Amino acid sequence: MKGIARIAICLAALRSVACLATDTEPHGRMYEGSGCVSAAVAVGEDTFIASSASDNVLRIYRTKGTSEPIASLDVSKFLGLEAEPADIQGAARVADRVYWITSHSRDEGGRIRPGRYRFFATTIRETDTGFDIELVGKPCTTLLNRLPSRNTVSTLRLDKAMRLGEELPEKQRKRLAPTKEGLRIEALCSDPHTHILFIGFRNPRPVRVTTGRPHALVIPLNNPADVVEKDKEPIFGEAMLWDFDGSGIAGLEYSPSHKMYFVLARPHDANSPTALYRWSGMKASSPTSICTLYPTSAGANAKTLMAFEDSDKLLLLAGVGDDADTRPPKKRFQSIQIRP
């Protein structure tokens, strides 16, 4: 990719950040309570709410002060789950409401995990004593069921990536793992001018006929409030296909300060770097590259990104996991600020 700057980021320890083209904070910040941060969204000028792929707890943090959650809510019962993680992968804020979406993916053996098919909402309210997280309506478990038959996305062959309700031989089933040919959602973002949500897919990556290249997929959801409040059938908009050199979407966020969207694009290879793009929001325009984020520690990679209302910086989050040097081990994740 022409003109791409490189940033070396250490997301497993508090070290300095080497940056050739964008400004960054010299040190990261650690947060306690989760080592597998999967989605996050700002809910105040220095406050954000985050989910984990390893449990069903939503946690609110401040970017200053304590590193522990200042509020939390376990949504397992609301989602109809017990010990099974929902694999929450995307969050989007509309006013005081936060929408959440799970991966909608099979496991690595290609087996369907019913708990991973959820779309739901919470309301976040600040009080004199802190924050309250309240549940909204009821979770949707069939969000994508009719998506493959939609005229607007019928050429994307999503039916081949989902194949719900079919009894498959083991060989075919394993091909539907999320890191192979199966479906996986990893991003959710709201349009600042409407109530439309953009769903970002890590997989599949449909091949565009005109180029013969795999493209990242984004599909708008036009009526999220009706889906969770009134159990209405989802209405999807026209799909968008973006060329990220074969990568899918791992994060999507709108920045009020920049008045544009930022995208994390990542290939399936866990050791490959993540690329950062910007997008104007115009469907006719494609995202343009900003930089490539190179982790300096094995297995550490930017998982999600956030933008705050009055800041020109983005907050990158990545899990750190269990710290073998502490007793007992701690689950932590780290944030690093960059100015794109």
Helices (H), the chain: 76-79, 158-162, 170-174, 224-230
pLDDT at position 24 is 52
Tens of pLDDT, residue by residue over 268-284, are: 766 678 899 999 999 98
Average pLDDT, the chain: 85
Model confidence, pTM: 0.90
More confident residue, 246 or 15: 246
What are the residues facing 42 on neighbouring strands?
Answer: 48
Question: Which amino acid, residue 89?
Answer: Q
Q: Among 236, 251, 156, 245, which residue's Cα sits nearest to residue 204?
A: 156
CATH number at residue 206: 2.120.10
pLDDT of residue 301: 63
When divided into structural domains, the chain yields a total of: 1
Q: How far is CA 45 from CA 41, 64, 73, 96, 296, in A?
A: 11, 11, 21, 13, 30
Of 16-20, 26-30, 61-65, 136-140, least confident by mean pLDDT is: 16-20
**C-alpha–C-alpha distance, residues 105 and 111, integer Å:** 9
Which tens digit of pLDDT belongs to each residue from 141-186? Answer: 999 987 876 645 546 778 889 998 889 999 999 999 999 999 999 9
Q: Any idea which residue has 């700002």 for tokens?
A: 42
User: Average pLDDT, stretch 85-114?
Assistant: 96
Cis link prior to 220 (omega < 30° from 0)? Answer: no
For residues 254-280, give the mean pLDDT.
Answer: 89
Q: Is the pLDDT of residue 81 over 90?
A: yes
| pLDDT range class, residue 5, cuts 50, 70, 90 | very low
* Structural domain for 105, as ranges: 5-339
Residue 143's pLDDT is what?
Answer: 95
Q: Look at residue 263 and tell me whether its pLDDT is greater than 80.
A: yes
Return the pLDDT at 249: 96
pLDDT value, residue 25 = 53
Q: How confident is the model over 286-336, as pLDDT tens digits? A: 999 999 887 644 334 677 899 999 899 999 998 775 444 444 457 888 898
Mean pLDDT of 50-67: 94
Question: Residues 202-220: pLDDT tens digits?
Answer: 999 998 888 889 999 999 9
- Whether residue 227 contacts residue 136, with contact meaning beta carbons closer than 8 Å, is answered with no
* pLDDT in the model for residue 107: 95
DSSP structure class, residue 236: B
Q: Average pLDDT of 118-128?
A: 94
Percent of the chain with pLDDT over 90: 64
CB contact at 8 A, 54 and 86? no
